[in-house]
Structure 1
Amino acid sequence: MYQQGANAYLQTTKVVESPRERESALLMRAAASLQKVKDEWPNSFDDLEQALAFNRKLWSIFMVAVTKEDNPLPQEIRQNIANLGLFVMNQTREMMMEPRAQKLEVLVRLNRQIAAGLRGM
């Protein structure tokens, strides 16, 4: 019975949640994964690749979305998101080439700040 209620709630949440709220939640999830790796370093080294891959995939989706002709965002915002995406890709590459826990801080902070902006905070 409990599981049915939980599933119904999740389905309703998916319908009610706005795209901005979803994007914010995904950015916070990526930030939390990266923060966990950073906090538990070096014991979390095995989780690093998965956390970076999720973050990279998320930002890749954002970058593709802002390059579409039918994207309703103003050109300046689209360009800023694309630039941030390129920055994330470069930071990820550097992290994979020379892993250090403190390098994750910029990715965590960026995701959290963008997520907060999407939530209107």
Structure 2
Amino acid sequence: MNAIRQAQNAYGQTNQPIRTMRGTEYETVARITHRLKSAAAKEPFDIVELATAIHENRNLWALFATEVADNDNPLPKELRAGIFSLAEFTNSHSSKVLRSEASADALIEINTAIMRGLRDGGAAA
């Protein structure tokens, strides 16, 4: 392959759309929510798969909590507080799910609401 063809391939137009931060957040929440749904619906029950999905979801919500706790975060204070509260609930409820004291439905519903907000361009909390 000659140098011109290599340059065209490297710097030419791609078929991939440019991802926005909101789009990346949506894809991440969607991927984790899909894993939660899949693990929660699995018959027979697979605790390793569920624990892995919950761990990923907890990490996601820990990141959200860290971001909204930053004073430089541009979101309105009320929205930041709501997201932080959801992160706390998610962490607490996840423990109940892992102890078989609750279902993952609430975690899935919260993530779905966040995805709806990200998709619609509005605040989701």
**Range of TM-score over shorter length:** 0.7 to 0.9
- Does 1:61 find its partner at 2:76? no
Query: Structure 1 regions of 5+ residues with no counterpart?
Result: none
Query: Structure 2 regions of 5+ residues with no counterpart?
Result: 1-8
Partner SS state of residue 107, structure 1: helix
Runs of 4+ in 1 over 3 A off after TM superposition: none
Following the alignment from structure 1 to structure 2, what is the Cα–Cα distance between the partners of residues 105 and 9? 39
Partner SS state of residue 114, structure 2: helix
Q: TM-score, normalised by structure 1?
A: 0.81
Q: TM-score, normalised by structure 2?
A: 0.78
Residue identity over aligned pairs, in percent, reads 26
Report matched runs for 1:62-81 at 5 Å. 62-81=64-83
Following the alignment from structure 2 to structure 1, what is the Cα–Cα distance between the partners of residues 77 and 46? 39
Partner SS state of residue 100, structure 2: coil
Partner SS state of residue 103, structure 1: coil
- Does 1:83 find its partner at 2:70? no
Structure 1 vs Structure 2 CA RMSD? 2.4
Return the letter of the residue paired with 1:99: S
Q: How many residues align?
A: 111
Q: Which residue of 2 aligns with 1:93?
A: 95
User: Which has more radius of gyration?
Assistant: 2
Greater fraction of residues in helix: 1
